[in-house]
Chain A
Amino acid sequence: MIEGILIGLNTALSLKNILMVMMGCFFGTIIGMLPGLGPMTAIALMIPITYGFDPATGLILMAGVYYGAVFGGSTSSILINAPGVPGTVATSFDGYPMAQQGKAGKALAIAAYSSFAGGTIAAIFLLFAAPSLSKVSLAFRSPDYFALMVLGLTAVSAFSAKGQFLKAMMMVVLGLMLASVGQDSLSDIPRFVFNNMNLSDGISFVLVVMATFAMSEALMIILRGTDPSRAAKAISLTELGSIKLDKDETKKTLKTIPRSSVIGFIVGVLPGAGSTIASFLAYGMERNFVSQEEKEKFGKGSVHGLSAPETANNAACSGSFVPLLTLGIPGSGTTAVMLGALLGFGIQPGPRLYMTNPEIFWSVIMSMYIGMVILLILNLPLIPYIARILAVPRTFLIPMILFFSVTGIYLMSFNTFDIFLMIGIAVVATGLRLYKFPMPPLILAFVLGGLMEENLRRSLLISDGSFSFLWDRPLTAIILVFTVLIFSWQGYLSFKSK
């Protein structure tokens, strides 16, 4: 492991990669601060750029964007009560009241230190857990992988939007349908191409991500007439005050960080759960841990109440890399985008990544620490200035997002058909989003589609066409029991509300 850490440090600490983390954190913070534009949009816009780099650099850049976007979301939550991403909603419960009391600088500092500590502790967990889990996951066979993918898709659907399970499952099926377009991976038989040569290679992953996130988000902003730059203007006008914490605040933050890190990491590892659930869970748990006097302060500017969700959401971000790096199965929409990007580099994440591409495996883990340090050193004092850059009117912001989306896909294929297909998918996605059909399950399904079919093929061939492979191995059966439990729970929830 020491050797691996050194390999990772050597890669992550090269001048180019440090610059990439800095750029990623900076760009991610900008996008994360804009309400509505989250990490997935930020990463989607970055993918075409990453293809110009080696895989490790590309992934380091994306990891930086991810953390930056989560931090940016916290900033708008605290300063103007407008969470940029769902994972920072709980941050606003106590962060915004603190800002209103004239302690905006302190609130941002608590958020930054908690994020840093949460992310770092979780990255240490990841450092130890990932190699061990990689070894364990070598015991996984095709039926287990298939069952795990079904569980992942079901869990993401169950947690992606409250009360929208069926809609999310429809999006999963749509994602799998889109993934099935093009030649069959084994027999090269064309499927769903309708005699169109442009479809024979399938639909590009970048195209789907750009269309469903970046482009449809831009269209949604115009459709609803919202102005994300208004939030940035408000941030740039906020008086931050001191960012120095006193003894009592430091003590409270230090108490909260360890327990919230553990909660965040565990929730992050679970497929589908992610930073939103982690932050709410940590907030609720923290309320139970503190004294009655402190409990009263929750929702009115409590240090514990601010530190807990911030620690947990960053710890969950690191935790979500565990299933991606060890099993090759992303647990969230954001890590699904990263998996798609990795597959684009020709790298298959999974248990063997640890052995075949140690520089990628370890440099991603190491870049997490570096990203955290950069966020702490650079972003905290620079927030008002970043916000000033952000105060670009939407009349300029939206065309720029559309320009980067179209250019991104054009640079990859030099094919106008892809541009038209992207516009078509973006229009459909905008319509679906208007009626609260969630997009992360679609992306996750699109990325996993090929792998899922491959594992089902192997499982069915081994069991001679019988579905007994679903219960032959105890591991497969256990995973499927969890899937059934999620289905039953969703059924119970809909029955209960009636």
Chain B
Amino acid sequence: MKISSVKIISLLFFILSAFYLYTAHQIQVFSFDENAPFNAKTFPIYLGYVGMFFAALKILLPEKIKEEVDHKVLDYKKVFFLIIIMIFYGFTILRVGFFLSTSIFLLLAYYFLGERRWKFMLLFSFPFVGLFMFLLHGLLDIYLRDPLLKFLGIIG
């Protein structure tokens, strides 16, 4: 018997709700609040039960529409690379600074998505980010942390 992906997701949601319910019971409330009609864990406890209820219904009831996805036509490789460079961007944005990390992120993203026109790729990375920073930092006075540009004396 083949279990549909939606039922598997519902099962995962059931487990998540059960874990949420367990964690809700572990919330430490003030002793004077323990027997109050409502305290910090009341709403989460209800939520845990409601989540389990809907997930159980989805698992148990027969499916009206079979939602199956053809994984062969999905481009997981590109999405995986994009996620990796986004994580890399997240790691570098504070350390390296906004200008360099964002420009490199954009360049890499263009490249991984199949763009090879270097003239446009360079135009829409370094100068584009520079202009964006000027708009935010220079005109709208929104602070942008950039140790590199600060070291070079470009921003104050």
A173 and B47 contact, Cβ closer than 8 Å, known pairs A395-B110, A414-B94: yes
Residues in A neighbouring B120, C-beta threshold 8 A? 396
The reply to whether the CB of A423 lies closer than 8 angstroms to some CB of chain B is: yes
B79 contacts A219, C-beta separation under 8 Å:
yes
The reply to whether the CB of B2 lies closer than 8 angstroms to some CB of chain A is: no
Return the contact of A167 from the options B17, B58, B62 (Cβ within 8 A).
B58
Residues in B neighbouring A163, C-beta threshold 8 A? 64-65
Closest to B78 in A: A222
B40 contacts A187, C-beta separation under 8 Å:
yes
User: How many angstroms between the C-alpha atoms of A414 and B97 in the bound complex?
Assistant: 11
The reply to whether the CB of A247 lies closer than 8 angstroms to some CB of chain B is: no
A177 contacts B20, C-beta separation under 8 Å:
yes
Residues in B neighbouring A223, C-beta threshold 8 A? 74-76, 78-79
B93 contacts A396, C-beta separation under 8 Å:
no
A407 contacts B102, C-beta separation under 8 Å:
yes
B110 contacts A396, C-beta separation under 8 Å:
yes
The reply to whether the CB of B29 lies closer than 8 angstroms to some CB of chain A is: yes
Closest to B9 in A: A435
User: How many angstroms between the C-alpha atoms of A410 and B76 in the bound complex?
Assistant: 26
A419 and B38 contact, Cβ closer than 8 Å, known pairs A167-B58, A180-B43, A435-B6: no
Residues in A neighbouring B113, C-beta threshold 8 A? 222, 394-395, 398-399
A177 contacts B64, C-beta separation under 8 Å:
no
Residues in A neighbouring B24, C-beta threshold 8 A? 191
A225 and B73 contact, Cβ closer than 8 Å, known pairs A174-B13, A414-B145: yes
Minimum Cβ distance to chain A for residue B117 (Å)? 9
Minimum Cβ distance to chain A for residue B42 (Å)? 7
B51 contacts A170, C-beta separation under 8 Å:
yes
User: How many angstroms between the C-alpha atoms of A48 and B10 in the bound complex?
Assistant: 33
The reply to whether the CB of A15 lies closer than 8 angstroms to some CB of chain B is: no
> Which residue, B36, B40, B65, B94, has most C-beta atoms of chain A within 10 A?
B40
A399 and B106 contact, Cβ closer than 8 Å, known pairs A177-B20, A456-B38, A460-B37: yes
Closest to A162 in B: B65
B6 contacts A167, C-beta separation under 8 Å:
yes
User: How many angstroms between the C-alpha atoms of A420 and B40 in the bound complex?
Assistant: 28
A435 contacts B51, C-beta separation under 8 Å:
no
B93 contacts A411, C-beta separation under 8 Å:
no
Closest to B50 in A: A173
Closest to A186 in B: B40
> Which residue, A224, A416, A430, has most C-beta atoms of chain B within 10 A?
A416
Residues in A neighbouring B47, C-beta threshold 8 A? 173, 176-177, 180
The number of inter-chain residue pairs (CB within 8 angstroms) is 164
Residues in B neighbouring A435, C-beta threshold 8 A? 5-6, 9, 67, 69
Closest to A437 in B: B9
A224 and B67 contact, Cβ closer than 8 Å, known pairs A407-B102, A420-B90: no
The reply to whether the CB of A389 lies closer than 8 angstroms to some CB of chain B is: no
> Which residue, B58, B76, B145, has most C-beta atoms of chain A within 10 A?
B58
Residues in B neighbouring A251, C-beta threshold 8 A? none
The reply to whether the CB of A189 lies closer than 8 angstroms to some CB of chain B is: yes
Residues in B neighbouring A177, C-beta threshold 8 A? 17, 20, 44, 47, 51
Residues in B neighbouring A224, C-beta threshold 8 A? 73-75
A 431-446 to B, binary, CB cutoff 8 A, 1 in contact else 0: 1101111000000000
* A303-335 at interface with B (beta carbon < 8 Å): none
Residues in A neighbouring B114, C-beta threshold 8 A? 395
> Which residue, B27, B78, B86, B144, has most C-beta atoms of chain A within 10 A?
B86
A 172-186 to B, binary, CB cutoff 8 A, 1 in contact else 0: 011011001000101
The reply to whether the CB of B100 lies closer than 8 angstroms to some CB of chain A is: no
The reply to whether the CB of B142 lies closer than 8 angstroms to some CB of chain A is: yes
User: How many angstroms between the C-alpha atoms of A401 and B26 in the bound complex?
Assistant: 40
User: How many angstroms between the C-alpha atoms of A476 and B107 in the bound complex?
Assistant: 56
B79 contacts A222, C-beta separation under 8 Å:
yes
User: How many angstroms between the C-alpha atoms of A166 and B59 in the bound complex?
Assistant: 10
B 13-47 to A, binary, CB cutoff 8 A, 1 in contact else 0: 10001001001100111100100111111111001
User: How many angstroms between the C-alpha atoms of A39 and B24 in the bound complex?
Assistant: 35
Residues in B neighbouring A184, C-beta threshold 8 A? 40
User: How many angstroms between the C-alpha atoms of A169 and B53 in the bound complex?
Assistant: 10
Residues in A neighbouring B115, C-beta threshold 8 A? 393, 395-396
A434 contacts B69, C-beta separation under 8 Å:
yes
Closest to B129 in A: A403
Residues in B neighbouring A173, C-beta threshold 8 A? 17, 47, 50-51, 54
The reply to whether the CB of B57 lies closer than 8 angstroms to some CB of chain A is: yes
User: How many angstroms between the C-alpha atoms of A163 and B65 in the bound complex?
Assistant: 8
B109 contacts A402, C-beta separation under 8 Å:
yes
User: How many angstroms between the C-alpha atoms of A214 and B41 in the bound complex?
Assistant: 33
Return the contact of A411 from the options B50, B86, B106, B142 (Cβ within 8 A).
B142
B residues in contact (CB < 8 Å) with A: 5-6, 9-10, 13, 17, 20, 23-24, 27-30, 33, 36-44, 47, 50-51, 54-55, 57-58, 61-62, 64-65, 67, 69, 73-76, 78-79, 82-83, 86-87, 89-91, 93-94, 98, 102, 105-106, 109-110, 113-115, 120, 124, 132, 136, 140, 142, 144-145
A-B contact pairs, 17 of them (CB 8 A): A166-B54, A169-B54, A184-B40, A191-B24, A219-B83, A223-B74, A224-B73, A396-B115, A398-B113, A406-B90, A407-B98, A411-B136, A420-B87, A423-B87, A423-B90, A453-B43, A461-B38
Other A-B pairs, 9, CB within 8 Å; known A173-B47, A402-B86, A463-B37: A177-B20, A177-B51, A187-B30, A192-B20, A224-B74, A398-B109, A411-B144, A416-B90, A416-B94
Ranked 9 nearest A-B pairs via Cβ: A465-B37, A399-B109, A395-B115, A419-B90, A184-B40, A173-B51, A395-B113, A189-B40, A453-B43
A residues in contact (CB < 8 Å) with B: 52, 163, 166-167, 169-170, 173-174, 176-177, 180, 184, 186-187, 189, 191-192, 219, 222-225, 393-396, 398-400, 402-403, 406-407, 410-411, 414, 416, 419-420, 423, 427, 430-432, 434-437, 452-453, 456-457, 460-461, 463-465, 494, 497-498
